[in-house]
Amino acid sequence: MNTMFVDSVALRQSGDALIGIPLALRARGRASVLCKMILDVVHEVAHVDRVHTPLVIGSALGEMETTHALLEQIFSEDSASPLRFQNSVHNTACGLWSMACGQTAPSMAIAAGHDTLAMALLEAYGYLYEYGGKILVAVGDEAASGVLYGANTWDAMAAGFLVTLEKTDKCMATIHMPQRVRDEDHAPNENPCAAAVDLALRIREHRSGDIHIGRWRMRVEFCDG
Amino acid sequence: MHKYPITGIAVRNGLGVDVRAVGLALHQNVHGLKRPSVNLPFDTWVGELDPCDLLPPCLRAYDSQLTRLAASVFDDIAASVHGAIKKYGADRVGIVLGTSTAGMPQSEEAYAHVCKYGDLLQDFSVWTHHAYHGLIDVIAAISGARGPAYVVSTACTSSAKVFGSAERMMKSGSVDAVLVGGADVLCRMTMLGFHSLGILSETRCRPFCAERDGINIGEGAAFLLLECEGEGRAYYASIGETSDAYHMSSPHPEGRGAIAALHMALDRAGIAAEDVDCISAHGTGTPLNDQSEAIAIRNIWPKNIPVVATKALTGHLLGAAAANEAVLAILGMEQSVFPGMACADVVLDPALGLDVVRHTISKNHCNVVSNSFAFGGSNAVIVLTL
């Protein structure tokens, strides 16, 4: 049927309090904005066995705050902080989640520009098709605020979803697998994962309809039980 | 168990510029490592490539060291991909590629300009030069594939996990063929970063050796075309994936995550441990990585099994390492060769208890297990057969 069911959803936008980050105080202090937002939304939707539930994270640009800090250090000191370096990889949030929850199930970190949400959901669908159960999906990008962004400006956001192929009484929405509808990319001056805000709000507000995700379009239908 | 035919391969690394040259280098057992051409505040060796041609004018907005390298290597597999598009349709051919550094060299160049002149390089765009998706946008444009396309970036398991994504995408009916692979290029950040962690060797890396002291970083790209059915020059059989839940940059000391990934890969492939002919090790050459991997291998193969460590030849290609090693494993099976380490005086670490291939051995083999482990405690093991 190429459909998945969303059992839980979480959304964080600039200015929202991050209250559920599942990290010890010191690790939280060291974590990037992206990691904190991603882990906060994953924590909120993870009403599951966290050890054995896979996690798919999508972010178009990843750990840019850490990258900027490393570049500054490289060009001022010709060295790199080991802690910053190990936390600069795209799957940093995956590693932090795994350590925080003892998760031994696989994690995935992907990127696909403005298509990132669509591709993260497709990746999640593949996992569910193969292994069944439930899967955690989180997408997000930091605010465009460093020197590398040039004239681009956008706010930070992250959204989390708990999805499954089996409809239960917890189902909030049905999402149909994305269909490619065009070849050209979006204009870059918006958060690359902004479509996830639309998806999260539609699910929360019980609004069915089509969502445009970069080159893709996806149908979401309110689950009325 | 269903096996997915690999109907095309392409590779470029320190050993050679294409499949033929790399195959010859494997046969002759030479290495592709040298002193870096850039100045660094420490000694090391690298698998460094000659510069590639600029992208064509229509793709110049995406022009970076990474995309130039990827485009040049794609040329060698273009006919296979175009054949798949003709066979299945452009919408049914996906692209899943691994990279870790993405466009970092261009970002370093742009940042250097900021430091010197106070503003960004005029042509630099974080969106097309730095971001991960530049890689897939360029390969999609060159290939004409219109199926799902994304980058997997899980550090050094990136281009192993792309095989799993491709398998699931084909199994669930989204596509009929997937171009998988990886590309990564040298940059100052990775050199300084690995040095700061104390795991960059000042000499040639010596995986599983008594005096191993770290990695050499390499650059390169490798692509493989997986199809849902048919005949291939080799076959992808399965993947095993786990997380360590232990540390961001160190493997679990007892190799727990690696052992679980190995079991998962073998179970899913339907291959018994005794039917595996060779392990293509992650074999980075750091004391902790090699020790943890050796424990994992010995847990499943208590008696000796040939272990190949090709990072001694190419360096560690990070996000492209697993795809590179998959191509080397296929060439090894086709040539009936277990490649050695191209180093006359290596002394293996007896404490590891592994039968690491030091000098090239000629032997028919058809089942290879290829290990990849990464920052974030990410483990991925793939099974390849002839």
At the topology level of CATH, where does A3-222 sit? Peroxisomal Thiolase; Chain A, domain 1 (3.40.47)
Contact criterion met (CB < 8 Å) for A89 and B154: yes
Helix (H, G, I), strand (E, B) or coil at A40: helix
Q: Average model confidence (pLDDT) for chain B?
A: 96
Nearest Cα residue in chain A from B196: A82
Contact criterion met (CB < 8 Å) for B154 and A61: no
Shortest Cα distance from A107 to chain B (angstroms)? Answer: 7
Distance CA B338, CA A169 (A): 55
Of B91, B120, B376, the CB nearest to A95: B376
Of A80, A91, A129, the CB nearest to B172: A129
What's residue A160's pLDDT? 98
Contact criterion met (CB < 8 Å) for B127 and A126: no
Percent of chain A predicted with pLDDT > 70:
98
Query: Is the pLDDT score of B344 beyond 90?
Result: no
Task: Return the CATH number of the domain spanning residue range B4-385.
Answer: 3.40.47.10
Buried b (16+ CB within 10 A) or exposed e, B273-312: eeebbbbbbbbbbbeebbbbbbbbbbebbeeebbbbbbbb
Domain residue extents for chain B: 4-385
Distance CA B323, CA B166 (A): 13
Contact B367, B271 (CB under 8 A): yes
Contact criterion met (CB < 8 Å) for B165 and A126: yes
Q: Count other C-beta atoms under 10 Å from residue B269's C-beta.
A: 25
Read off the DSSP letter of residue A194. T
What's residue B350's pLDDT? 96
Distances (CA, A) of A130 to B2, B85, B96, B152, B271: 13, 25, 18, 18, 19
- pLDDT tens track for B177-206: 999 999 999 999 999 999 999 999 999 999
What's residue B369's pLDDT? 98
Question: Would you place residue B64 in the very low, low, confident or very high pLDDT band (cuts 50, 70, 90)?
Answer: very high
Shortest Cα distance from B350 to chain A (angstroms)? Answer: 30
A103 CB near a chain B CB, below 8 Å? yes
β-bridge mates for residue B343, sequence order? none
In sign, the C-alpha dihedral spanning A68, B153, A97, A122 is positive
State the average pLDDT over residues A104-108: 98
HSE value, Cβ hemisphere, 13 Å, CA-based, for B225: 30
Contact B153, B316 (CB under 8 A): no
From chain A, the residues in CB contact with B169 under 8 A are 122, 126
State the average pLDDT over residues B355-369: 95
Query: Is the pLDDT score of B54 beyond 90?
Result: yes
Question: Would you place residue B373 in the very low, low, confident or very high pLDDT band (cuts 50, 70, 90)?
Answer: very high
Shortest Cα distance from A163 to chain B (angstroms)? Answer: 16
Q: Which of A15-24, B11-20, B43-52 has the lowest mean pLDDT?
A: A15-24
Helix (H, G, I), strand (E, B) or coil at B84: helix
State the average pLDDT over residues B222-241: 98
**Complex confidence, ipTM:** 0.97
Those residues whose C-beta lies under 8 Å from the C-beta of residue B305, and which sit 6 or more positions away, are: B276, B277, B278, B279, B297, B355
Q: Average model confidence (pLDDT) for chain A?
A: 94
- pLDDT tens track for B96-121: 999 999 999 999 999 999 999 998 88
- pLDDT tens track for B257-275: 999 999 999 999 999 999 9
Query: Is the pLDDT score of B252 beyond 70?
Result: yes
**Residue B291 corresponds to which amino acid?**
Q
Question: Would you place residue A1 in the very low, low, confident or very high pLDDT band (cuts 50, 70, 90)?
Answer: low
What's residue A58's pLDDT? 98
Contact B71, B62 (CB under 8 A): no
Of A78, A105, A122, the CB nearest to B174: A122
- pLDDT tens track for A179-212: 999 988 776 679 999 999 999 999 999 999 999 9
Give the distance between the most distant pair of CA atoms in chain B.
Answer: 62
Contact criterion met (CB < 8 Å) for A104 and B242: yes
Residue B82 in tokens = 């175009």
Contact B323, B223 (CB under 8 A): yes
Contact criterion met (CB < 8 Å) for B196 and A82: yes
Residue B358 in tokens = 């030091």
Just list the catalytic residues of B. Answer: 156, 282, 316
Percent of chain B predicted with pLDDT > 70:
100
Contact B47, B314 (CB under 8 A): yes
What's residue B290's pLDDT? 97
Strands B177-184 and B220-227, by their bridges, are antiparallel
- pLDDT tens track for A126-138: 999 999 999 999 9
Of B120, B130, B248, the CB nearest to A95: B248
Question: Would you place residue A225 in the very low, low, confident or very high pLDDT band (cuts 50, 70, 90)?
Answer: low
